[in-house]
């Protein structure tokens, strides 16, 4: 068992409201990612679950039992810190053995457990070194081993890959997913990297300014963002948002363009809206009748693809195109829009419009 | 604090002079630098040199006029007199040195035991009005000892701490605790709190986490801080002379001062006692020389 439920977490540091009613329900065995920009309250949420942060309000339940007042030790959790927090005067072996020693396991049991986990993470050769003699990637593995050496209720991970270089990060992403699958344990994983969130998570909670914006599978968060902010935060290149309103069976842009109104749109005429268009749902090739006219603003070649920046009025649309696309800035072109995949948000509240009937 | 002030005096002229010297540029600057430092060194070190010379001179050379700088008879009798009484047995000065060791050691130990956990708490926990509390703690050091010694004397008389080593130990500890808290807080701030967080997740209690993982990392800082406290207690004069009177309690500073006065002064003995008294301070100051300026400012300024 390993369910983690946080309800109505509130915490302020001086005048800063770090957590403003955060509620999360982490099912047993899931890889649950808390995603948000820096300062969103992700780490504070994790520390509150771990018992390292005293809450102003709210409760933490572990396996259905109220653990709000429990010490970190009593909660039976393991955590990987962003800066690894390896004990500098202890060897890698002693670091990994620490959770077992703290719980007074017999020495033979500790040796077996450390051996098993260091084999799993390929760090057998590092066990006698101290943290100062380890590279960043090696420290990360040792920190991971210290968490994984035990079978706690749940594993808490605070941006464990942030301090690694890109190649190592991609490797560790795959490895963490593999470990999660083989252990079948509950992971609560905090990151500001949406790629990590989308690629590893069973469930994603998007956090902003101490409030949960949306909880769902990676696909749900990406395909049906609950509001304009989530749409803008998740996805790369970022979604393009165009001010507009509905008029009969047309969507009329603030810049004068018109598009057919998506069938599912429920907004009354004249209400200020934002049309959200992801780069992959736009095309600079002629593929349909719904199109916007603009001029080429710039090209961002990414190797396998090129992102074309198209200026429509004063707004810039990001369009994914083939790597072979060419053009000169200022050139007129038409951008085809896949309206079935477009998003509409209320310009005032930022909330996604009801998608019933879509 | 006494030593850090001494140190500040000897470094300050060098620092203040730099911009002025820079105007002369290149060689003129270095010549001026050497000249000024030489003058400074002579002025600062001459009394020390004279003290050492006097401590090893025969009595007739001590009082010789004109003074003898080089061609005097060397003797270690004065040092013998410091430790051995004229009729044999232990001298009162040696008892005073022993008292100084006991008082300085015990007050430093007490200040460290009380100050280090306090510094840890101020560094790690959200304490209400933390800045005000820390300022209040520091402010107890603002008052010159001479100002508080009379009320302390009256209080001590009421509770029977006058002319006791315990009385001196307590008052020195009271003066050293604020210093220890401030200096140690700087050192604790340097140790990431994550070590304790990780230890608590591992299954240790907060105090175990502090004891097992943070404290070992603080040991160099504790050593440096304790040396400062030790030097303060060792050098302290005002409280010692007001609060103690008997030879069995009196520490070295008032005991040495007591040698001066009366009809004749045995300057050789005074000088030898002063040399013996200064040695531990020199040794300890040498041990913590890196912290003498850097440590104090780091611990005090960084918040």
Each residue's pLDDT tens digit, A312-328: 888 899 999 998 888 88
Mean local confidence (pLDDT), A201-229: 94
Q: pLDDT value at position B25?
A: 59
Give the residues across from A243 on adjacent strands.
Answer: A274
How much is the pLDDT for A241? 92
Residues of chain B contacting A50 with CB distance shorter than 8 Å: 197, 201
B37 plus B124 within the same structural domain: no
More confident residue, A262 or A171: A171
What local confidence, expressed as pLDDT, does residue B292 receive?
A: 63
Quick one: B165 and B62 in the same domain? no
- Shared domain for B132 and B276, answered yes or no, is yes
Q: What is the mean pLDDT of chain B?
A: 84
Residue B213 with chain A: CB contacts under 8 Å: 87
The answer on pLDDT for A133 being more than 90 is yes
Of A81, A89, A102, the CB nearest to B203: A102
pLDDT, one tens digit per residue, over A13-53 is: 988 999 999 999 999 999 999 999 998 999 999 999 999 99
Domain boundary among the residues B35, B64, B83 is at B83
Residue B186 pLDDT more than 60? yes
Asked whether residue B191 falls in the same domain as residue B127, the answer is yes
**Residue A336 and residue A285 in contact, taking contact as beta carbons nearer than 8 Å:** yes
Query: What domain range is B162 assigned to?
Result: 92-301
Domain final position from B83, B109, B136: B83
Is residue A78 within 8 A of residue A99, CB to CB? The reply is yes
Mean pLDDT to the nearest integer, A249-266:
83
Task: Mutation target for B interface from A89, A90, A98: give the one with most B CBs within 10 A.
Answer: A98
Between A and B, how many residue pairs show a Cβ–Cβ distance under 8 A? 58
**Banded pLDDT at A356 (limits 50, 70, 90):** very low
Q: What is the 3-state secondary structure (H, E, C) of A4-72?
A: EEEEEEEEEECCEEEEEEEEEEECCCCEEEEECCCCCCHHHHHHHHHCCCCCCEEEEEECCEECCCCCH
Per CB-CB distance under 8 Å, the chain B contacts of A78 are: 201
Across B18-22, B98-102, B134-138, B193-197, least confident range: B18-22
Instruction: Give the end of a domain, one of B45, B63, B83.
Output: B83
Q: Residue B119: what pLDDT?
A: 96
- The answer, yes or no, to whether residue B66 has pLDDT greater than 90, is no
Same-domain pairing of B29 and B170: no
Tell me which chain B residue has its CA closest to the CA of residue A102.
B203
Same domain? For B76 and B130 the reply is no
Give the pLDDT band (50/70/90) at residue B298: very low
Residues B27-45: pLDDT tens digits?
Answer: 777 899 999 999 999 999 9
Q: Is A274 left (phi over 0), alpha (psi -120 to 50) or beta?
A: beta
Query: Is the ipTM above a cut-off of 0.90?
Result: no
The pLDDT, as a whole number, for residue A216 is 95
Question: Residue A155: helix, strand or coil by DSSP?
Answer: strand
Query: Band of the pLDDT at A270, cuts 50, 70, 90?
Result: confident
- Pair B53, B117 in one domain: no
A47 and chain B: CB distance < 8 Å anywhere? yes
Nearest alpha carbon to residue B184 among B10, B302, B269: B302
- Distance in Å, alpha carbon of B208 to nearest chain A alpha carbon: 10
Q: Which of B195, B201, B208 has the CB atom closest to A87's CB atom?
A: B195
Check if B72 contacts A (Cβ < 8 Å). Answer: no
* Residue of chain B whose alpha carbon sits nearest to that of A12: B126
pLDDT at B117 over 90: yes
Q: Looking at residues B190-197, what average pLDDT do you find?
A: 93
Shared domain check, B59 and B145: no
Chain B contact for A52 (CB, 8 A cutoff)? yes
CB A20 within 8 A of CB A190: no
User: Looking at beta carbons, which residues of chain B come within 8 Å of A79?
Assistant: 197-198, 201
In total, how many domains does chain B have? 2
Same structural domain, B278 and B243: yes
B281 and B184, same domain (yes or no):
yes
B79 in the same domain as B136? no
Smallest Cα distance from A244 to chain B, Å: 49
**Domain shared by B71 and B213, yes or no:** no
All domains of chain A, ordered by start, with CATH?
A: 4-231 (3.40.50.300), 241-346 (2.40.50.140)
pLDDT at B23: 54
Whether residue A198 has pLDDT greater than 60: yes
pLDDT value at A117 more than 60: yes
Tokens of A266: 């429920």
Average confidence (pLDDT) over B193-206: 94
* Better-scored residue on pLDDT, A136 or B301: A136
CATH number of B217's domain: 1.10.3720.10
Average pLDDT over residues A196-214: 94
Q: Does residue A146 sit at the B interface (CB-CB below 8 Å)?
A: yes
Q: Does A99 touch chain B (CB under 8 A)?
A: yes
Of B285 and B79, the one with more pLDDT: B79
């Amino acid at each position: 068992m390993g369910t983690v439920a946080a309800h109505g977490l509130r915490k302020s540091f001086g005048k800063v409201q770090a957590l403003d009613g955060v509620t999360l329900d982490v099912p047993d065995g899931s890889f649950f990612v808390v995603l948000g920009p820096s300062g969103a309250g992700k780490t504070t949420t994790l520390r509150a679950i771990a018992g390292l942060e005293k809450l102003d309000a709210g409760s933490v339940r572990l396996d259905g039992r109220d653990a709000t007042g429990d010490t970190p030790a009593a909660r039976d959790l393991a955590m990987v810190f962003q800066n690894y927090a390896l004990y500098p005067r202890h060897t890698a072996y002693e670091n990994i053995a620490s959770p077992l020693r703290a719980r007074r396991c017999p020495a033979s049991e500790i040796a077996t457990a450390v051996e098993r986990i260091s084999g799993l993470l390929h760090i057998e050769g590092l066990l006698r070194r101290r943290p100062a003699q380890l590279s960043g990637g090696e420290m990360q593995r040792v920190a991971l081993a210290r968490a994984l050496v035990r079978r706690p209720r749940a594993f808490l991970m605070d941006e464990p890959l942030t301090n690694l270089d890109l190649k190592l990060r991609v490797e560790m992403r795959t490895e963490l997913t593999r470990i999660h699958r083989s252990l079948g344990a509950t992971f609560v994983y905090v990151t500001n990297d949406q790629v990590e969130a989308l690629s590893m998570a069973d469930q994603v909670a998007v956090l902003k300014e101490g409030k949960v914006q949306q909880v769902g599978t990676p696909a749900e968060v990406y395909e049906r963002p609950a509001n304009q902010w989530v749409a803008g935060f998740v996805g790369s290149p970022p979604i393009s948002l165009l001010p507009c309103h509905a008029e009969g069976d047309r969507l009329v842009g603030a810049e004068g363009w018109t598009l057919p109104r998506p069938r599912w749109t429920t907004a009354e005429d004249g209400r200020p809206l934002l049309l959200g268009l992801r780069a992959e749902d736009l095309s600079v090739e002629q593929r349909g009748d719904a199109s916007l006219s603009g001029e080429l603003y710039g090209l961002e070649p990414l190797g396998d693809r090129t992102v074309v920046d198209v200026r429509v009025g004063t707004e810039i649309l990001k369009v994914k195109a083939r790597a072979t696309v060419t053009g000169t800035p200022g050139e007129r072109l038409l951008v085809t829009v896949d309206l079935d995949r477009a998003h509409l948000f209320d310009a005032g509240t930022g909330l996604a419009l009801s998608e019933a009937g879509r | 604090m006494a030593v850090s002030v001494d140190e500040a005096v000897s470094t300050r002229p060098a620092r203040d002079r730099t911009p002025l010297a820079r105007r002369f540029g290149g060689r003129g600057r270095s010549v001026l630098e050497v000249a000024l430092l030489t003058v400074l060194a002579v002025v600062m070190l001459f009394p020390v040199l004279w003290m050492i010379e006097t401590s090893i001179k025969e009595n007739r050379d001590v009082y010789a006029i004109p003074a003898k700088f080089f061609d005097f008879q060397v003797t270690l009798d004065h040092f013998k007199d410091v430790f051995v009484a004229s009729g044999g047995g232990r001298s009162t000065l040696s008892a005073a040195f022993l008292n100084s060791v006991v008082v300085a050691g015990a007050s430093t130990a007490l200040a460290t035991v009380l100050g280090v956990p306090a510094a840890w708490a101020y560094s790690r926990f959200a304490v209400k009005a933390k800045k005000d509390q820390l300022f209040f703690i520091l402010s107890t050091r603002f008052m010159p000892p001479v100002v508080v010694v009379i009320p302390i004397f009256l209080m001590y008389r009421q509770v029977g701490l006058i002319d006791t080593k315990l009385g001196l130990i307590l008052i020195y500890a009271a003066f050293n605790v604020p210093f220890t808290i401030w200096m140690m807080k700087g050192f604790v701030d340097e140790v990431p709190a994550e070590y304790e967080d990780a230890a608590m997740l591992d299954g240790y209690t907060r105090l175990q986490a502090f004891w097992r993982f943070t404290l070992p990392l603080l040991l160099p800082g504790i050593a440096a801080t304790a040396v400062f406290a030790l030097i303060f207690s060792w050098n302290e004069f005002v409280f010692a002379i007001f609060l103690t009177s008997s030879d069995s309690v009196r520490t070295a500073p008032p005991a040495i001062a007591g040698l001066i006065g009366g009809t004749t002064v045995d300057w050789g003995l005074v000088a030898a006692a002063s040399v013996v008294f200064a040695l531990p301070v020199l040794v300890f100051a040498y041990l913590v020389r890196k912290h003498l300026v850097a440590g104090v400012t780091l611990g005090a300024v960084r918040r």
